């Protein structure tokens, strides 16, 4: 719909009869901007997020006029990004309630907020306050996540059996008894009793491999490089 068509439509509505032409043009432009925004992002956001998007649009158009198509495109990208930021924040709040701290999502949130600041800078909007508020939120979330990780790291460091990389499981240890596993030596699968039986020829190498769920080569390696060294050191 063009500006002329929108003006004509508004002039036929009773609530706009006593409004000046200048004010009517302003209202028409605002409504067209809102309609264009919803049309451009409606397929990308949820129905319940549309009000949040419109509230942002009205806030920004109240503070500043966006005339060129380039500015309007950037404004649409800004509002869409802020909708995604809000969506992630709500998801994180739910995760925090479950004592889960997805660090990767926190990083994504930080990157999206950086993008929001870039859009605002391109539109010459005041970003100092926004940046300060975001940095405060980011530092709070990061502190909570890192504190949780430090408190819960305990027995949660594992080695990936495929890439051999080290990773951590975020597991709460409150109200749990910590015991020393008899099936590991450092990060290696190992049981002294099993290898003692093998050493004394009470079980075979194949039986050791079956008990541990490993290969014959692994049994040979652990026997020679761990069990025998451990035995000789005594």
Per-residue confidence (pLDDT) for residue 76, from 0 to 100: 85
pLDDT tier at 198, thresholds 50, 70, 90: very high
φ and ψ at residue 227, rounded to 5 degrees: -65, -50
- Weakest-pLDDT range from 103-107, 175-179, 186-190: 175-179
Residue range 128-141: mean pLDDT, rounded: 64
Collapsed DSSP state (helix, strand, coil) of residue 98: coil
% pLDDT > 70, the chain: 73
Contacts for 234 with CB less than 8 Å, ≥ 6 apart:
none
Confidence of residue 129 (pLDDT cuts 50, 70, 90): low
- CA 44/CA 38 separation, integer angstroms: 10
Q: Hey, how many other C-beta atoms are within 10 angstroms of the C-beta on 229? A: 9
Higher-pLDDT residue of 19 and 97 is 19
Average pLDDT, the chain: 78
pTM value is 0.47
Section 196-223 average pLDDT: 90
Cβ-Cβ contacts under 8 Å for 83 (sequence gap 6 or more):
41, 45, 49, 52, 53, 56
Residues 113, 87: contact at Cβ < 8 Å? Answer: no
Model confidence at 162, pLDDT cuts 50, 70, 90, reads low
Backbone angles phi, psi at 148, to 5 degrees: -60, -45
CB distance 41 to 76 below 8 Å: yes
């Amino acid at each position: 719909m063009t500006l002329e068509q929108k003006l004509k439509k508004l002039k036929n509505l009773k609530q706009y009869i006593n409004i000046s032409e200048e004010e009517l043009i302003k209202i028409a432009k605002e409504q067209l901007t809102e309609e264009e925004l919803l049309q451009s992002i409606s397929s990308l956001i949820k129905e319940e997020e549309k009000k949040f998007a419109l509230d942002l649009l009205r806030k920004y158009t109240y503070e500043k006029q966006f005339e060129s198509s380039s500015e309007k495109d950037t404004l649409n990208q800004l509002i869409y990004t802020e909708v995604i930021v809000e969506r992630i924040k709500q998801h994180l709040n739910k995760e925090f309630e479950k004592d889960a701290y997805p660090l990767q999502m926190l990083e994504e949130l930080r990157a999206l907020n950086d993008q929001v600041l870039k859009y605002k800078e391109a539109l010459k909007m005041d970003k100092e306050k926004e940046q300060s508020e975001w940095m405060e939120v980011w530092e709070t979330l990061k502190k909570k996540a890192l504190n949780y990780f430090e408190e819960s790291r305990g027995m949660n460091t594992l080695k990936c059996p495929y890439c051999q990389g080290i990773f951590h499981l975020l597991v709460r240890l409150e109200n749990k008894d910590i015991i020393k596993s008899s099936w590991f030596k450092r990060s290696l699968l190992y049981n002294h009793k099993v290898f003692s039986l093998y050493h004394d020829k009470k079980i075979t190498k194949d039986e050791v491999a079956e008990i541990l769920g490993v290969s014959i080569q692994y049994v040979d390696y652990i026997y020679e490089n761990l069990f025998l060294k451990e035995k000789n050191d005594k």
